[in-house]
Amino acid sequence: MMRRIQFAILATVLVVAALSTGADFLFFLLYLGLLVVGGAYLLTRTGLAGLEAGYVLDRPQAQVGDFLRAVYTVRNTSLLPKVWLEVSNWSQLPIPLPGRALALRPRTESSWVARVPLTRRGHYRVDPLVLRTSDPIGLFETSASVGASSTIIVYPQVEPLIRWHLPAATLEGSQANAERSLQTTAMVTSIRPYVPGDAYNRIHWRSTARQQELQVKEFDLEQTADVWLFVDLDATFHTGSGDFATIETAVRATASIGARALSENRALGLTAVGRRRAGLPADRGPRQQQKMLQLLAAVEPEDAPPLAEVLSEGLPRLRRGMTALVITPSHERDWVRPLTSLRRRGIGVVVCIVDSVSHEARSRRALSLPELSEDEREMRAREVRAVRYAAAEHELKAYLLLPGIALGDQLVSAPLAAGARP
């Protein structure tokens, strides 16, 4: 835009000077300028004619640490060369897809591959491909969008927990759970009329013959050694930024523990309460792991209810033989009390406390910010120790999660001593 203004001012001065003086040289410059501007306009208007372009992403889902590959192709089908093209597409990815400037001869094409690392979990949008061209002077510009936008889901990283085991289940029998299951189980509880979309393998043929209309079976979950994860999303206690944020450690621990439970053929359930209640009913298999990772890819600290309130609502659904696993950075101790009654009911309890002090310190160092004052650091460290003491007082297994250390080295078969300093 600035170049257009400058060129307009120069053209106005040239026209005034040519008309007022009548000099042939000025008229020559004026006609030459008109010829250049007209040629630049025509070159820009036809710069994208006869072009075919597109890009393909190699995957719609990935995990943190993977590389996203985008294959670009631009083809010139016209008889005229394309002297300058800019190819790019905007995205919400932490590291954007690189664009490229190129020139194409007639009847030729160019293909290349762009690779970017996926460094942050989340749901990201990749906009359509944009082709842009301009004249050599930069007076005019034209662009066109090709294709549709895409969505990339980046799952949190799942770390192996080799030396850590979930508490052993102590089932003394089985019974039906009142919660309906979308999966086919051994617990057939009722029959209902068929509706479009029901699977044919759920049809109960004897009832169909008796009722003279299609009837399908409904199933309930069978009592199993479930693992139920409670993730604290209360923004009051979450701190840090980037890889050293407490929410990232909490999500990574949830994904790793959930994957470990599913690998042991445990049924896994998840509760994460923010402004809206999000969760997964207990289920097994790779499909449940994908649902868990998809949910964890989107969670963020929010103005959520206190953890004590979330536990008071969610713990009554647990049954004997299950394991409750709480992941939180909270410094308050009131959430420990709801867990104390679970042992008497035959329910295992594991607590993972995300150390907000060390996460805040690592984040400040990474951003070159001033360190926490010694008094504030000591006060918050005392609060963390008080929570660990409260868990040890009620004989709850408590682990302290620090930043920059592999979870497999922190979650081992013997938990950290409650009174030990990190």
φ, ψ for residue 186 (rounded to 5)?
A: -80, -10
Give the pLDDT score at 252.
Answer: 94
Within 13 Å of residue 266, how many CA atoms lie on the same side as its CB? 27
Residues paired with residue 82 on neighbouring β-strands, in sequence order: 104
Task: Tell me how crowded residue 356 is: count the other CB atoms within 10 A of its CB.
Answer: 22
Within 13 Å of residue 320, how many CA atoms lie on the same side as its CB? 10
Give the pLDDT score at 418.
Answer: 41
Give the pLDDT score at 417.
Answer: 41
Q: Name the superfamily (CATH) of residues 227-410.
A: von Willebrand factor, type A domain (3.40.50.410)
Give the pLDDT score at 83.
Answer: 84
Give the pLDDT score at 110.
Answer: 93
- What's the Cα-to-Cα distance from 226 to each of 282, 321, 323, rounded to whole Å? 7, 7, 6
Measured distance CA(306)–CA(331) in Å, rounded? 11
Give the pLDDT score at 47.
Answer: 81
Tell me the pTM: 0.74
Cite the residue boundaries of each domain of the chain with CATH code 2.60.40.3880: 51-155
Cite the residue boundaries of each domain of the chain with CATH code 3.40.50.410: 227-410
Give the pLDDT score at 56.
Answer: 92
Contact predicate 388/332, CB 8 Å: no
State how beta strands 215-222 and 176-180 pair. Answer: antiparallel
The residues near 290 (Cβ < 8 Å, ≥ 6 apart) are: none
HEC string of the chain equals CHHHHHHHHHHHHHHHHHHHHCCHHHHHHHHHHHHHHHHHHHHHHCCCCCEEEEEEECCCEEECCCEEEEEEEEEECCCCCEEEEEEECCECCCCCCCCEEEEECCCEEEEEEEEEECCCCEEEEECCEEEEEECCCCCCEEEEEECCCEEEEEECCCCCCCCCCCCCCCCCCCCEEEEECCCCCCEEEEEEECCCCCCHHHECHHHHHHHCCCEEEEEEEECCCCEEEEEECECCCCCCCHHHCHHHHHHHHHHHHHHHHHHCCCCEEEEEECCCEEEEEEECCHHHHHHHHHHHCCCCCECCCCHHHHHHHHHHHCCCCCEEEEEECCCCCCCCHHHHCCHHHCCEEEEEEECHHHHHHHHHHHCCCCCCCHHHHHHHHHHHHHHHHHHHHCCCEEEEECCCCCHHHHCCCCCCCCCCCC
Give the pLDDT score at 242.
Answer: 87
Q: Which CATH architecture has domain 51-155?
A: Sandwich (2.60)
Q: Could you tell me which of 59, 62, 55, 222 has the C-alpha nearest to residue 145?
A: 55
Measured distance CA(162)–CA(253) in Å, rounded? 14
Radius of gyration of the chain (CA): 32
- What's the Cα-to-Cα distance from 307 to each of 157, 221, 227, 283, rounded to whole Å? 25, 27, 18, 24
Measured distance CA(108)–CA(255) in Å, rounded? 48
pLDDT, averaged in runs of 10, over the chain (422 residues): 69 74 75 76 82 91 92 91 89 91 91 93 92 81 87 93 76 46 56 83 86 80 71 90 91 94 89 80 89 92 86 85 90 88 85 91 89 86 88 87 90 52 40
